[in-house]
Structure 1
Amino acid sequence: MGKEGKGLSVWGLTMLALGTVVGGSFFLGSSVAIRAAGPSVLLSYVIGGILVYFILSALSEMTVANPVAGSFRTYTEQAFGRGAGFTVGWVYWTGLVLAMSSEATAVSILLRGWFPALPLALLGSGIIAGVTLLNLLGAKRLSRLESGLAAFKLLAIAAFVLIAAALIAGFGTGGAGAVGLDVVRGQSIFPGGIAGIAGSMLMVMFTYAGFEVLGLAASETGNPGVTIPRAIRYTIVLLVGLYLAAIIGLFLLLPPARVSEQVSPFVSALSLYGLGWAGTVMNIVLVSAILSTMLASVFGLGRMLRSLAEEGHTPAWMRDRADIPYRGILISGGAMLAGLWLGMLLPQGVYLFLVSSGGFSLLFSYVIIMASHYRLRKRHGGPLIRQHGLRGYPYTSWIAIVSLVAILASMPLIPGQGGGLAAGVMFVVLFAGIYALTALRKARGTGRYQRRPLPVPAARVQMEAAEELEGKRERGQGIKKGAGIKQGK
């Protein structure tokens, strides 16, 4: 867009993506996937990494061909029309706003353990205000802060892998019992079978979710054709590599039966070997992880709202004319505050029903990314760019779409996620209905204008013009007839 955003480098963009992806869902939510699939959850993470690679490759191809601020929302509109672009943009924005208001509540609960005198509402409001104001500094300054937070999270995962390796090698075990291969010996690799892997895929994809910010940041880079593909490769390698290393370390330290969904599996593993300080350290990591995710999410929310405004999908006053989408960021922050207070006013069940739509909105967006890429590339008659396209098209497109739809359909099988599917579908129907009603109203208004009788002076002018045109036509025909008679002589 403007000069402010052109400073985003490959590393800054990678850290922005990792800042969004690596959050509480991995440090805490991975326990749900481990309980469902046991050691075979490693296969789930590999499958999830392959799906992310397909989605990011498709997004990269469209982004390099057309690096716009609206990213996948704009590509959806190009592929399926304005109604689809309107619906996808608002479903994504609403779901992510509600999810981030919930994240603010989660980090407030963690912080209140250190500051018990502070009210939960005050802590949550302060966090949302802070991440919103930091986003007003612009993409270049934000990427520096995000790089620091993302690096801290990645170092925490790397540190766990190193500690696990030391414990497996026999250093500092303190006679805690089995360690290394002895932990998994005699265990079933596929305790839940195919159903266990399928049941874990939802939580695994949640731990990968957030990478779409790479597309939303495309217009903030100086050379998207080089920066975006490189950032995607670095993101994939770091994510999949660290995730797999950390999960392998977990299984070599902690039997799956001892994994609790209420406690981070990393804390449980380290505490088992006398590292009691792990709980405090992990809380610090969790706080930084959630704050980092919120910072990067507000970045994406502001750009998404600016894209909606530029296409006329919002009231005119929401449009940003500056390099930094100040209005989009402030409105998104205000909506997150409203979501936070909504959670304190509504019954808990109703609020959780709405908040759980966040996961649906992300997976729904990934389905749309793949479908839009498939249609645009088919319409184009070949790859959208000379290089960095989706390999294996169209088979990889079909595999990704079918897999993502299957994961969405499995949401009711995971405790607490059935409401996410219902709420997400409700938002899709709601926004599609709003667009349809608005379009119908505009069409009727246009029809009334066209059927309105012409004023008398205007009608008279048209009649006189028609008579003059008819006279010219008759005179022209007479000249042609006279010429024909002369030629006959």
Structure 2
Amino acid sequence: MLAPPPAHVRPEPPSTTDSGTTLARGLKQRHLSMIALGGAIGAGLFVGSGVGIRAAGPSVIVAYVLAGGLVLLVMRMLAEMSAANPATGSFSVHAAKALGPWAGLTAGWLYWSLLVVSVAAEAIGAADIMTGWLPGIPGWVWMTAFMAVFTGSNLAAVRRFGDLEFWFAGLKITAICVFLLLGALAVSGLLPGAEAPGTRHLTGHGGFLPNGWHGLALGLVAAVFAYGGLETVTIAAAESADPVKAVGRAARTVVWRICLFYIGSMAVIVTLLPWNSTSAHTSPYAGTLVRMGIPGAGHIMNAVVLVALLSAMNANIYGSSRMLYALVERGDAPRALGRVRRGVPRNAVLASAAFGFAAVVLSVLWPDTVFPFLLNTVGATILIVWLLIALSQLRLRRHREQHGESEPVVRMWLFPHLTRLTVFAIGAVLAVMVLEPDSRTQVLCTGGWAALLILCGLLKRRAGPETEPARRRETGRIS
């Protein structure tokens, strides 16, 4: 239950540690634009989209439109808060300010755990591709090499991370644009050697809704998770020269481009491929390229997926280290992890990477038990984070209005109606997941992890009431 509004909101303190050093502001606008564009274009799009196609058939286009609308609203709310208060911890800082320290602790540790487990999953996927090309080298060698390379890139100056991610994102975006161009030519019958299918794959094989509204709902769940990753840009924006401008530009331009890539890709795939074909379920992009008559389609897509996985590893080590740094600032993580050297929170980077290394080891030792449990534990994290973002924006915007503060640089549309609609939509997606046996375990495991974090946050506050004034000064909490 939200606390009554306060008399004022204190600004977020500068990002400092016990040594008095600060995070370097070495990211440029070009870095942030590409981080935002590339952050959500990962293996989940190139490979995982087959899950949505299997569930929804051609209506997966509608699923991606609806999911794109939801993420557009979430990012608009996050941009409003981040433009008003740029902070390394992004939504975890906003949650602590709006809802209380327990919410900041929960959001921060949930997102950190999601990112570090994702790093391990991406290392495994990248190693599988490399062993397919070079079977003589064991997968664990590739995993170790990738982890070492990207740990090193994140220990260097933040500008080095930005440069590397800039080129990774550029390659992914180029691949998507080429795919969309070839797809448009094939659909229109202008691509040599490719027969224009018309609408037969959209209306045949059971129709546009072959699995009914239930299938569309499952496709929507798959689409929602495909969009995860855009939040990283608001974390990175705090290390740019002009965080307010960076967040505002990302909110205005990036999200609709991402939606275009996703929705356009799905439209091309289900128009050129029968939705119930094996290739549409297992490797939709490669199968579509084969249908277009592109030689070496499988190897091309493996290379694209490899780039997507490596890019995601790099970005997730970065995001997890900055989230851990923000947790240290609020007293929610060991203080030693917050030490900064040359503008980089090196201990936070090493701690996040170490957990990634440990998860890789678990995936090798217990691939059928422990590692799948970790994946389930963070499976629904993004939805809980989005829910906290919506509740935080509702709380903070109400406070601004009630106390006559200046309008935010970026404003949520039709407040509070669209914010409330977003909360309802997120709840509906979670309800669908609970009702489905295949996704119920994810919700229950993630919910259990979130409940444990909430309990820790509440007990931490109860155990140290004398530190509450200091904690409020640190987070700028409204109370």
Alignment match of 1:117 (pick from 127, 136, 152):
136
Cα deviation for residue 308 of structure 1 reads: 0.5
Q: Give the whole-Å Cα distance in 2 for the aligned partners of 1:97 and 1:306.
A: 14
Cα deviation for residue 84 of structure 1 reads: 1.7
Matches within 5 A, 1:61-72: 61-72=80-91
Q: Give the whole-Å Cα distance in 1 for the aligned partners of 2:411 and 2:286.
A: 41
TM-score by length of 1: 0.85
- Cα displacement string for residues 108-149 of structure 1 (whole angstroms, at most 9, x for unaligned residues): 111111121222222112212211111122332222211111
Q: Give the whole-Å Cα distance in 1 for the aligned partners of 2:183 and 2:155.
A: 40
User: Which residue is equivalent to 1:421?
Assistant: 443
| Structure 1 pair 104–385 and aligned structure 2 pair: CA distance change class (3 A) | farther
Q: Give the whole-Å Cα distance in 2 for the aligned partners of 1:287 and 1:125.
A: 15
| Structure 1 pair 68–74 and aligned structure 2 pair: CA distance change class (3 A) | same
Alignment match of 2:374 (pick from 348, 351, 354):
354
User: Which residue is equivalent to 1:326?
Assistant: 346
Matches within 5 A, 1:3-42: 5-42=24-61
The answer (yes or no) to whether the contact 1:4–1:140 under 8 Å persists in 2 is no
- Cα displacement string for residues 215-266 of structure 1 (whole angstroms, at most 9, x for unaligned residues): 2112112222222111222211321112222222112211111154762101
User: Which residue is equivalent to 1:408?
Assistant: 430
Q: Give the whole-Å Cα distance in 2 for the aligned partners of 1:6 and 1:329.
A: 17
- Cα displacement string for residues 30-65 of structure 1 (whole angstroms, at most 9, x for unaligned residues): 111112112221111111121111111111111111
The answer (yes or no) to whether the contact 1:318–1:328 under 8 Å persists in 2 is yes
Cα deviation for residue 9 of structure 1 reads: 3.0
- Cα displacement string for residues 377-427 of structure 1 (whole angstroms, at most 9, x for unaligned residues): 112226873432101111111111111122123224567533321221121
Name the amino acid aligned to 1:405: G
Q: Give the whole-Å Cα distance in 2 for the aligned partners of 1:301 and 1:325.
A: 11
The answer to which of 301-310 and 267-276 deviates more is 267-276
User: Which residue is equivalent to 1:486?
Assistant: none
Q: Give the whole-Å Cα distance in 2 for the aligned partners of 1:409 and 1:364.
A: 12
Name the amino acid aligned to 1:316: R
Max Rg structure: 1
The answer (yes or no) to whether the contact 2:186–2:196 under 8 Å persists in 1 is no
Q: Give the whole-Å Cα distance in 2 for the aligned partners of 1:384 and 1:339.
A: 46
Q: Is structure 2 residue 198 aligned with structure 1 residue 180?
A: yes
Q: Give the whole-Å Cα distance in 2 for the aligned partners of 1:161 and 1:329.
A: 37
Q: Give the whole-Å Cα distance in 2 for the aligned partners of 1:278 and 1:384.
A: 54
Name the amino acid aligned to 1:306: Y
The answer to which of 200-209 and 282-291 deviates more is 200-209
The answer (yes or no) to whether the contact 1:32–1:200 under 8 Å persists in 2 is yes
- Cα displacement string for residues 331-381 of structure 1 (whole angstroms, at most 9, x for unaligned residues): 100011111112223361342122133331122111111111111111222
The answer to which of 313-322 and 64-73 deviates more is 313-322
Q: Secondary structure at the match of 1:257?
A: coil
| Structure 1 pair 62–178 and aligned structure 2 pair: CA distance change class (3 A) | closer
| Structure 1 pair 444–362 and aligned structure 2 pair: CA distance change class (3 A) | same
Name the amino acid aligned to 1:393: F
The answer to which of 188-197 and 282-291 deviates more is 188-197
The answer to which of 99-108 and 137-146 deviates more is 137-146
Alignment match of 1:146 (pick from 165, 168, 173):
165
Q: Give the whole-Å Cα distance in 2 for the aligned partners of 1:268 and 1:316.
A: 50
What are the ranges of 5 or more consecutive residues in structure 1 without an aligned counterpart? 447-489
- Cα displacement string for residues 67-106 of structure 1 (whole angstroms, at most 9, x for unaligned residues): 1111110111111111221122111111221122112111
Q: Secondary structure at the match of 2:407?
A: coil
| Structure 1 pair 287–377 and aligned structure 2 pair: CA distance change class (3 A) | same
| Structure 1 pair 25–95 and aligned structure 2 pair: CA distance change class (3 A) | same
The answer (yes or no) to whether the contact 2:337–2:345 under 8 Å persists in 1 is no
Matches within 5 A, 1:258-277: 258-260=277-279, 263-277=282-296
Q: Give the whole-Å Cα distance in 1 for the aligned partners of 2:229 and 2:407.
A: 25
User: Which residue is equivalent to 1:431?
Assistant: 453
Give % identity.
31
Q: Is structure 2 residue 68 aligned with structure 1 residue 46?
A: no
Alignment match of 1:129 (pick from 124, 148, 156):
148
User: Which residue is equivalent to 1:476?
Assistant: none
User: Which residue is equivalent to 2:473?
Assistant: none
Q: Give the whole-Å Cα distance in 2 for the aligned partners of 1:96 and 1:313.
A: 18
User: Which residue is equivalent to 1:336?
Assistant: 356
| Structure 1 pair 261–409 and aligned structure 2 pair: CA distance change class (3 A) | farther
The answer (yes or no) to whether the contact 1:308–1:314 under 8 Å persists in 2 is yes
User: Which residue is equivalent to 2:416?
Assistant: 394
| Structure 1 pair 186–434 and aligned structure 2 pair: CA distance change class (3 A) | closer
User: Which residue is equivalent to 2:335?
Assistant: 316
| Structure 1 pair 144–347 and aligned structure 2 pair: CA distance change class (3 A) | closer
The answer to which of 33-42 and 354-363 deviates more is 354-363
User: Which residue is equivalent to 2:474?
Assistant: none
The answer (yes or no) to whether the contact 1:149–1:289 under 8 Å persists in 2 is yes
The answer (yes or no) to whether the contact 2:63–2:223 under 8 Å persists in 1 is yes
Q: Secondary structure at the match of 1:95?
A: helix
Name the amino acid aligned to 2:174: L
User: Which residue is equivalent to 1:484?
Assistant: none
User: Which residue is equivalent to 2:224?
Assistant: 205
Q: Is structure 2 residue 267 aligned with structure 1 residue 256?
A: no
Q: Give the whole-Å Cα distance in 2 for the aligned partners of 1:437 and 1:243.
A: 42
User: Which residue is equivalent to 1:219?
Assistant: 238
What are the ranges of 5 or more consecutive residues in structure 2 without an aligned counterpart? 1-14, 16-20, 469-479
Q: Secondary structure at the match of 1:359?
A: coil
User: Which residue is equivalent to 2:97?
Assistant: 78
Q: Give the whole-Å Cα distance in 2 for the aligned partners of 1:418 and 1:185.
A: 31
Q: Secondary structure at the match of 1:348?
A: coil
Q: Give the whole-Å Cα distance in 2 for the aligned partners of 1:128 and 1:63.
A: 30
The answer (yes or no) to whether the contact 2:182–2:191 under 8 Å persists in 1 is no
* Number of residue pairs matched by the alignment: 445
Name the amino acid aligned to 1:424: T
TM-score by length of 2: 0.87
The answer (yes or no) to whether the contact 1:4–1:138 under 8 Å persists in 2 is no
Q: Give the whole-Å Cα distance in 2 for the aligned partners of 1:23 and 1:421.
A: 22
The RMSD of aligned alpha carbons is: 2.4
Q: Secondary structure at the match of 2:369?
A: helix
